[in-house]
Structure 1
Amino acid sequence: MATIKTVAFIGLGVMGYPMAGHLAKQGLTTRVYNRTSSKADAWVSEYGGSAHATPREAAEGADLVLVCVGNDDDVRQVTTGENGVLHGMADGSFLVDHTTASADLALELDTACRQQGIAFLDAPVSGGQQGAEKGALTIMCGGQQAHFDIVEPVLDHYARAVTLVGDASSGQLTKMVNQICIAGLVQGLAEGLHFAEQAGLDQQQVIDVVSKGAAGSWQMENRHKTMIADEYEHGFAVDWMRKDLAICLSQARHFDATLPVTALVDQFYADVQRLGGGRWDTSSLLKRLRKVQ
């Protein structure tokens, strides 16, 4: 299959909705499914394509099926479940899972797909809702090179970087590295801003200075203003970050890897949840420090 013309997108959350929209804008026939059907209907009203009652129905006739849901159980439900996409996909088609999930699940899906003659890539994304809307996500993929080469041009429609990092599950393992790094960066930024505030410094001026040096990061550039303003009703939710960090910590135990900072920041996020901030952006770690004083 040299050309992908019909795609199915499963999961129209804050990420999936705009990602699927980019595909439709590029002229791909796009079939969608969402657990809340009204969301799928709204998507069709905005972008065209067609909404379907089950993942299986959405996948029927699709050259490529893309999944972007919440966790391992959600992925299983929409892929191998009773009305999952694997029951509607044809031999020679492609399945790409954009969900941040476990490496074990990626291997499980790879095996299931091989048994049906379907190509599989685990392809978690980074860049958040803003990246999805702008078509500027970073996608880390696990799978076979030949399959990646065919799917990559489609993923390029909502990404600034798409990279094959290894065999099946390598994408998920790389995303774990991403989340481990983010946890430490956000906590460091929160502590830095808290220190500046307690010292009576102009926080914005401080960021303007240090961001031009070795302390600069994506988190600093994109989150410092809302952190200073104590605004967190946006971005990547703490609840989802804790789900991701739980995956990281579980995998670390399997590898006998030591992640003391990640484990500590995970508990700090638990504090934020207790403050009622489960849906706040991950940068709300600063909120916790302000509450402590």
Structure 2
Amino acid sequence: MSKKRNVTFVGLGTMGYPMAGHLSRSELFNVSVFNRTSEKSAQWGEAYEGRVALTIEDAVKDADVVITCTGRDEDMMEIVFSDDGMMPYLKKGSIFIDHTTTSFKLAKHLNESLKDKNISFIDAPVSGGEAGAINGVLSVMAGGDAHILDACDSIIKTYSKSITLMGDSGSGQLAKMVNQICIAGLLQGLSEGLLFAESENLNMDKLLSAISGGAAQSWQMVNRGKTMHQREFDFGFAIKWMVKDLGYCLDQADGNNTKLTFTQEVYDRYTNLMDKGHTYSDTSALMMFDELNK
């Protein structure tokens, strides 16, 4: 019988909490978790089978695979490189998978820094939102070595429905940027379409049923169209995080001479909505921009 691999999951936020939960249900791994807020770790430990580590050293020192899912570049820099970070304690020959949506620059920096310690790195941002994490059907966009990704297939599949290797290190983050650029455009178009429909007093249920079956169909339309019309935004992917993600897109575009005019407009609209108290509203609250800026 093959020995179980030790897998540590760091970061039990909106996405990481259920992802680590799915992982803990597998009989293939010894799962440990760590979160900077210990109360969240304790809560997870009561809900799932797995070891709750109290320090980052204890969490990662014996791990064959370390998985992170945090908020932004600054979080990853602190968790990995700070005086209290994990870098000195990572085991040589281990694998590091980062599901955080970060900048391309950070993904490259992590890869180079870990390579110096003989640790393999995969940048693997996910798409599918909180619902995808809870239901274990996330889409994973990965950058790194194909053999390393294959070795982690059974791990990642516990909480995902698809895994796509995009290319070398950093390619996963670039793919996620494209994902976010497209979502921004979809939400802006959907917002304007629904506002137009409301102005013409169209029956929204009939309208969404009609156009969701055609070329205009999208995940955003199917899952957010009705709630946008009802002005319900107290759920889902927070505007705060979309602003972070689109900021990475715009920074990267400056370096590759891409004019993201529409993305910049949506980014500006989101920052305006944050200023008006919608920091943690779902990104579909983009529909409120004109109403709040009359």
2:163 corresponds in structure 1 to 162
1:23 corresponds in structure 2 to 23
CA shift, 1:202, in A, is 1.1
Partners of 1:3 and 1:249 lie apart in 2 by 45
Partners of 1:165 and 1:152 lie apart in 2 by 15
Partner AA of 2:22 in structure 1: H
1:141 corresponds in structure 2 to 142
CA shift, 1:292, in A, is 4.1
1:8 corresponds in structure 2 to 8
CA shift, 1:274, in A, is 2.1
Could you tell me whether the CA contact under 8 Å between 2:67 and 2:97 is conserved in 1?
A: yes
2:70 corresponds in structure 1 to 69
Matched, 1:280 2:281: yes
TM normalised by structure 1 equals 0.97
Q: 1:17 to 1:55 in 2, by over 3 A?
A: same
2:234 corresponds in structure 1 to 233
CA shift, 1:218, in A, is 0.8
Partner AA of 1:73 in structure 2: E
RMSD between superposed Cα atoms in Å: 1.3
Could you tell me whether the CA contact under 8 Å between 2:8 and 2:32 is conserved in 1?
A: yes
Partners of 2:257 and 2:186 lie apart in 1 by 23
Question: What are structure 1's unaligned runs of at least 5 residues?
Answer: none
CA shift, 1:4, in A, is 6.0
Partner AA of 1:149 in structure 2: D
Secondary structure of 1:236's aligned partner: coil
What does 1:81-230 align with in structure 2 at a 5 Å threshold? 81-230=82-231
Partners of 1:194 and 1:29 lie apart in 2 by 51
Could you tell me whether the CA contact under 8 Å between 1:3 and 1:150 is conserved in 2?
A: no
Question: What are structure 2's unaligned runs of at least 5 residues?
Answer: none
Partners of 2:291 and 2:246 lie apart in 1 by 23
Could you tell me whether the CA contact under 8 Å between 2:111 and 2:169 is conserved in 1?
A: yes
Q: 1:71 to 1:80 in 2, by over 3 A?
A: same
Instruction: Provide Cα deviations, 1:135-186, integer angstroms capped at 9, x if missing partner.
Output: 0000000001111110122101100111111000000011000000000001
What percentage of aligned pairs have identical amino acids? 43
**Count of residues paired in the alignment:** 292
Partners of 2:244 and 2:44 lie apart in 1 by 27
